[in-house]
Chains A and B, each alone.
Chain A
């Protein structure tokens, strides 16, 4: 304490005085020795010199003594920073290259990390987010399927593992009575859903238990966004009514802004319990999803055991077709971020990390060159009394200053990259848009900046400790000490850069190849010149099957009369629309499968024209005809995949019967009248799943996509389509209006995104690595210019110089390629799940990547080697 106080008071008042005092004291000290020496009989000059020698290093002693008075760390650090900044200003070009290289690496890493953090790592924005679980039912084949309302109620009442439980169901409803009809993204929820996600009302109130019962008056709660956009933020909105699908709901509340409900935002919340029929069976599935809050200390596995016990009890007391169903309990945090997305993001993070490593290697070699050039400076400073650890600390500080500036630049770059990433990123990545440069990301950027500063600066710093004073000072030429020191380290850098670049080139090559393959997949239909109009008829307005048939019949006819429209068909799930429903099936003419072996297939609804309009090839039999009307034999058309799973030949399927629901669940038996080609329903880079089609005219569906084949760019008919839809019934909202290519295109968005980024990183790696290789080899030649000149002067042929330098470069490249190929093999295992249509362990791809990297290394090496070969011995030796 006392020491500190005296330090502070000294620092404030006596600093200058102290310095002078110390100088005086040491001066006196010297004179005392000199006096003694004179007394011994030396001449005054000799006496003074001997005194100097005897005293030792004056500066060293003074600095040490002074440090006792300082807050040494802080003050010397400040001084080193100032010195470092001066150094940066002095060698602008060098510093700029270092800062740009590191800034690029840090920026890219920060941007990708902020995406990874936001999507994978950030805790859920709910209280106790770590205890939130998603609930559903599971069977032997599928887990996490919808839970039935009755089962959910039993779970809620009888469980011992949950603090709270909510049920949620999405619905697209049409809002009418307020201008043109629009589709509203509604969420039917139990009132507990608000509790679990801590949503509170800004106006009015939330649901009560009374609102959530069958027969209760219909009420609705609005999100603030919907309230602003649709109702103009009208504060007197409470008590007004909202007409959704023909039912009038009383608005009872508006939610507080800022809270999102499980990533996808809804617009309107309605009570779920009111809409449920209490007399439902245990096997009547809607699309209800459960959300649960585990009691503290309970795990998802324990909770699942608890719910499974309830399901087993129910199977005995209320037997039905789904007695084998059990529960599904999965942590919400893992639920959204598992699987392919996780692999993709981690791959990108790894790739961008490798780019940073290359950047580090480049900078390390640059710094090494500079520190070698500074050998004399360092030697002089050691000679006049700088302590070696002190010197190392100063060099380190200089590098950290460089890294800090690069980090700042990197942050700017990251901010810009992030905006671009969010803009071009696929929309189905949850929480991508939430990615910002927040505290954890800033910490990450700081950490990697420091790490990079240390990593890149380590070699020169270690080197500085080994400066050989005598050699460095005696050798007169400015390149004194360039020798072999550090060359080994530089060689390692080249090898590492070649290896890393090979891995990145291999990975981006694989993904690019996958993307090309995916884009060229035959989708099973002709997606050109197809306009699609996605519609959903409100159930309240179109109650009967006949009204649905009538509407779509009328609309098809109206569109067909539009000039330039060739043909119009109807389908529920156009290719690329994804999984819009799957169900069990069996073939009546085949042996009955075991309960656990009943296969699943996608189902779809199509009219007689669809296959012709989409140009889907008919493989056997026929497609639907006008004759497949209500009252005729129920028929189905199946795709080739289903046909081949069930029969040896598609031809054999004709006339057989497909039992919907399989042997153990109620469902109609449909006669198979035709087999058509597989279509890419889920996405272009996914397997074409088995599928069967219901005949639309036999089984009308309210939700249909109207497909029109046009003469020319379908976008030209968009306005006409809107007009026709509105002419037939202006209360029907258009869910989407796009081309069939759009449907397919988005299915590859994620892949395109990943491929683009990985390609970018690969390109960056190649540029950085070639600059790095060039730099190191060029330096190698510079250091040997004299030697080469002498060799040439005494008669060595130029070709021998070429062989010598070329061999050196080739040896490094070959080592790098070998290491890189090993790295690529390891990377291949990781990339396995991301590639499509190519073997991840593809030898060809590895060889191509290897050849590419060798070519790059050769180009980067050619200039230095050329320079070595064309050394002018006369000029070179004269200069020296």
Chain B
């Protein structure tokens, strides 16, 4: 769905990564869906392209697990938007997931690009 054709192909999210990234994006402050996708694209230096067809279901799953909660709020420029925030349960989950993924990333790079 990208509008520009000559960009390098965006990375797809691995199974389960989008959820932990959403949790991470909410660590500092609550945010709405668009904000979350902006944050992720920005932070990844546009390596990740967030597809709304995946983002919304992921948000719904996190809601179901009670890792995040949602409420409607005014945005800075006066629009109403649905804001998500981490629950205490979600915060704990983020810590656990984060260390798991860090280990995963380290292990991957050790295998793929070994430094002797």
A, B in one complex? yes
Interface residues of A (CB under 8 A from B): 2-3, 6-7, 21-22, 24-26, 28-29, 31-33, 35, 53-57, 60-62, 64-65, 67-69
Give per-residue flags for B47-64: 1 if the beta carbon is below 8 A from chain A beta carbons, else 0. 000011111110111001
B44 at the interface (CB under 8 A from A): no
**Minimum Cβ distance to chain B for residue A216 (Å):** 82
**Minimum Cβ distance to chain A for residue B100 (Å):** 20
A2-B66, A56-B51, A57-B1 as given contacts; A64 in contact with B56, CB under 8 Å: yes
Q: Is the CB of A65 within 8 A of B57?
A: yes
A3-B65, A7-B64, A56-B1 as given contacts; A29 in contact with B57, CB under 8 Å: no
A554 to B83, CA, bound (A): 114
Residues of A within 8 A of B59 (CB): 65
Q: Is the CB of A35 within 8 A of B53?
A: no
Give per-residue flags for B66-107: 1 if the beta carbon is below 8 A from chain A beta carbons, else 0. 100000000101011110000000000000000000000000
Residues of A within 8 A of B60 (CB): 65, 68-69
Interface centre among B3, B56, B77, by most chain A C-beta atoms within 10 angstroms, is B56
> Which residue in chain B gives the minimum CB-CB distance to A29?
B34
Residues of B within 8 A of A28 (CB): 32, 79-82
> Which residue in chain B gives the minimum CB-CB distance to A5?
B64
Q: Is the CB of A64 within 8 A of B54?
A: yes
A57 to B55, CA, bound (A): 12
Q: List 6 A-B contacts (CB under 8 A).
A: A25-B81, A29-B32, A35-B79, A56-B52, A64-B56, A68-B61
A652 to B3, CA, bound (A): 108
A372 to B64, CA, bound (A): 42
Residues of A within 8 A of B20 (CB): none
For the A-B complex, the count of residue pairs with Cβ-Cβ distances under 8 Å equals 70
Q: Is the CB of B56 within 8 A of A31?
A: no
> Which residue in chain A gives the minimum CB-CB distance to B54?
A64
A465 to B34, CA, bound (A): 32
Q: Is the CB of A61 within 8 A of B56?
A: yes
**Minimum Cβ distance to chain A for residue B77 (Å):** 6
**Minimum Cβ distance to chain B for residue A9 (Å):** 11
Q: Is the CB of A2 within 8 A of B65?
A: yes
B18 at the interface (CB under 8 A from A): no
**Minimum Cβ distance to chain B for residue A37 (Å):** 12
Residues of B within 8 A of A69 (CB): 60, 64
A3 to B60, CA, bound (A): 11
Residues of B within 8 A of A21 (CB): 82
A64 to B57, CA, bound (A): 6
8 more A-B residue pairs beyond the given contacts A3-B65, A33-B34, A68-B57, with a C-beta to C-beta distance below 8 A: A26-B56, A32-B79, A35-B77, A56-B1, A61-B56, A64-B53, A65-B60, A69-B64
Q: Is the CB of B57 within 8 A of A53?
A: no
B21 at the interface (CB under 8 A from A): no
Q: Is the CB of A25 within 8 A of B33?
A: yes
> Which residue in chain A gives the minimum CB-CB distance to B51?
A56
Residues of B within 8 A of A24 (CB): 82
> Which 5 residue pairs across A and B have the least CB separation, nearest first?
A65-B56, A68-B60, A56-B1, A61-B52, A64-B57
Residues of B within 8 A of A2 (CB): 64-66
**Minimum Cβ distance to chain A for residue B10 (Å):** 13
Residues of B within 8 A of A22 (CB): 56
**Minimum Cβ distance to chain A for residue B70 (Å):** 9
Residues of A within 8 A of B64 (CB): 2-3, 6-7, 68-69
A26 to B65, CA, bound (A): 21
> Which residue in chain A gives the minimum CB-CB distance to B1?
A56
Residues of B within 8 A of A68 (CB): 57, 60-61, 64
> Which residue in chain A gives the minimum CB-CB distance to B80?
A28
A25 to B33, CA, bound (A): 8
Residues of B within 8 A of A26 (CB): 33, 52, 56
A55 to B57, CA, bound (A): 15
A53-B3, A68-B61 as given contacts; A32 in contact with B75, CB under 8 Å: yes
Q: Is the CB of A29 within 8 A of B54?
A: no
**Minimum Cβ distance to chain A for residue B75 (Å):** 7
A22 to B60, CA, bound (A): 10
**Minimum Cβ distance to chain B for residue A60 (Å):** 5
> Which residue in chain B gives the minimum CB-CB distance to A68?
B60
Interface centre among A26, A29, A53, by most chain B C-beta atoms within 10 angstroms, is A29
Q: Is the CB of B1 within 8 A of A31?
A: no
A89 to B48, CA, bound (A): 47
Q: Is the CB of A67 within 8 A of B66?
A: no
A22 to B51, CA, bound (A): 16
